[in-house]
Amino acid sequence: MPRRALSHVLLVLLPVVAALAILPFVYSNHLLLFNFIVFLTLAQGVNVLYGFTGYLPFGYVGFFGAGAYGFSLAVMHLHLAPLPALATGALAALLLALLLTPLLRLSGAYFAIANLAASQAVYQVVSNPSLTPVTRGPYGISLSGVFNPVLSYSVALLVLAGTLALVISLRNSRFGLSLHAIREDAVSAALAGIDVVQSRIVAWLLSALVAGLVGGAFAWRISVFYPDTVFSLEFSIFAIVFTLFGGAATAVGPLLGVGILYGIYNAIGISTPQYFQLIYGALIVGLVLFLPNGLVSVLRLGGIDVP
């Protein structure tokens, strides 16, 4: 492994994963820690797509929900054990991504809105009462027999580790560089011999896979949920905002963004909730006006090479 990648792994991946593995022993609100893992993973998933290819997935939660429902359907109808069911969830997200590949022809805000419409469409289909025999429609999923907070936490942590490894490798590999090139100027990249369409599709599928895996883990952990819980716009928006706040296209940026913003979200939520939405909105506005390239841009100004 090239030296730079190794240093990134040591600086970023190991401390984060180790911290999240140890924290449950000292801090007892495990569900909060689990949610941190979920958002860290989702932010990195958005990072793979937005940071490297420039597509903003406003409907990212569609893959998350597909993973959650894939997991749940596998448990309910196929009676699979949790791990194969998780694989099924990931498969569901990948299939959805394949189905939506034509959206990659669009750009900018068009893609963002179409992606959002796609995730809403999936939600409408899943939560429709006509599909109750399959997806339990609007009455929600209630999985029995697979509830296992410890194992689902560990698996989620593994998914996060894998995602971080993916981002670090993108950061340090030729493929990641070619994605950057496509993002900056697709025509020149094509002239340089990069297969633009294929590269984009690979990034798209990887991003969907990440969301599908963590969606399945989420379903496993909470085991009782209504459709709008796993298709909530909140997941997409938070993941995007956290990534942008920290700084896209780096491995560290989304981690910073989640750590700071999601941390503030929970702290405020517990102490001064009534002005919560106001504070959060103001934070986002301030972010865009004063730190449009994210927190890591401050570090970069100081000449630091951010992982």
Partner 1 sequence: MHKRLLGIVLLILMTLGGSRVMLPPAGAAGAPGEITLGTLYASSGPFASISMPVYYGLRLWIDQKNAEGGVFVKPFHKKIPLKLIAYDDQSSTATAATLYNQLITQDKVDILIADSGSVLTSVAVPIARDHKMLLIDQTGTGAAFFTKDNPYIVLIADPVSSIWPRYAAEFLAKDGVALGIRRVAMVYATNDFTGTQASAFRKFIKESGAPLQFVYDEGVPTNTSSYTVIINNIRAANPDAVIELGYAGNDISFLRNLQDSGVKFKWLFAIYPGLETELLKKAVGTKALDYVYTYVPSSVISYRTNFGMSLAQFRAAWYEKYAHSNVEFGFNSVAGYTTGLVLERALAVTQSLDQLALRKAIFSLSGKLRTLDGLFQLDPTGAQIGEITPLGQIVPASAGGIRFVIVYPHSVATGKPVYPAP
Partner 2 sequence: MLAYALLAGLLFGLYFTLVGLGLNLVFGVLRIVNLAHGDILMLGAFTAYWLFTTFRVPPLLSAALALPLFAGAGVPFYYLVVPRLLRSRDPEMLSLIFFFGLSQIIEALAAIVFGTSERSIPGSALARGPVALLHQTFPAAWVTSAALSGLAVLGVYLYLYRTRLGYLTRAVMVHWEESVASGIDAHRVSAIAFGAGLALAGIAGVLAPFMLGSVTPAMGVDTTITAFAVIVMGSLGSPLGTVLGGILYGVSLMVMQTYFSSWANLLPYLLLIGILLLRPSGLLGRQIRRA
User: Residue 223 is encoded by which pair of tokens?
Assistant: 């085991």
Cβ neighbours around 180 below 10 Å, total:
17
| Residue 178 C-beta-side C-alpha neighbours within 13 Å | 17
Selection from partner 1, partner 2, none that 224 binds (CB < 5 to 8 A by kind) is partner 1
- The residue within the footprint of partner 2, chosen from 7, 30, 95, 128 (CB under 8 A), is 128
Q: Cα 220 from chain centroid?
A: 17
Contacts (CB under 8 A) with partner 1, residues 2-41: 28-32, 35
Q: Measured from the CB atom, is 110 or 139 closer to partner 1?
A: 139
Selection from partner 2, partner 1, none that 117 binds (CB < 5 to 8 A by kind) is partner 2
Q: Which helix (H) or strand (E) holds 292?
A: none
Q: Measured from the CB atom, is 32 or 304 closer to partner 1?
A: 32
User: Residue 198 is encoded by which pair of tokens?
Assistant: 């294929």
Q: What is the DSSP letter of 157?
A: H
| Residue 79 C-beta-side C-alpha neighbours within 13 Å | 0
Contacts (CB under 8 A) with partner 2, residues 176-235: 186, 233
- The residue within the footprint of partner 1, chosen from 204, 225, 231, 242 (CB under 8 A), is 225
Q: Which stretch binds partner 1 (CB under 8 A): 82-90, 99-107, 142-150, 183-191?
A: 142-150
- The residue within the footprint of partner 2, chosen from 90, 116, 141, 217 (CB under 8 A), is 116
Smallest gap from Cβ 274 to partner 1, in A, equals: 6
Count the residues of the shown chain that bind partner 2, applying the rule CB under 8 A: 49
Burial label for 237, CB within 10 Å (0-12, 13-18, 19+), is middle
Q: What is the torsional sign of CA 15, 158, 257, 8?
A: positive
Burial label for 37, CB within 10 Å (0-12, 13-18, 19+), is buried
Q: Measured from the CB atom, is 88 or 119 closer to partner 2?
A: 119
Q: Measured from the CB atom, is 205 or 283 closer to partner 2?
A: 283
Q: Measured from the CB atom, is 198 or 271 closer to partner 1?
A: 271
Asked if 154 interacts with partner 1 (CB under 8 A), we say no
Contacts (CB under 8 A) with partner 2, residues 6-45: none
Residue 127: phi and psi, rounded to 5, are -90, 5
Count the residues of the shown chain that bind partner 1, applying the rule CB under 8 A: 34
By the 8 A CB rule, do 196 and 186 touch?
yes
Selection from partner 1, partner 2, none that 101 binds (CB < 5 to 8 A by kind) is none
Helices (H), the chain: 3-8, 14-26, 30-46, 52-53, 61-77, 82-99, 108-126, 132-135, 149-172, 174-184, 186-191, 196-222, 227-230, 233-246, 252-257, 263-271, 276-290, 296-301
Interface residues with partner 1 (CB under 8 A)? Answer: 28-32, 35, 124, 127-129, 137-140, 142, 147, 149, 222-226, 228-229, 232, 234-235, 266, 269-270, 273-274, 276-277
Interface residues with partner 2 (CB under 8 A)? Answer: 50, 54, 56, 58, 102-114, 116-118, 120-121, 124-125, 128-130, 186, 233, 237, 240-241, 244, 274-278, 280-285, 287-289, 292-293
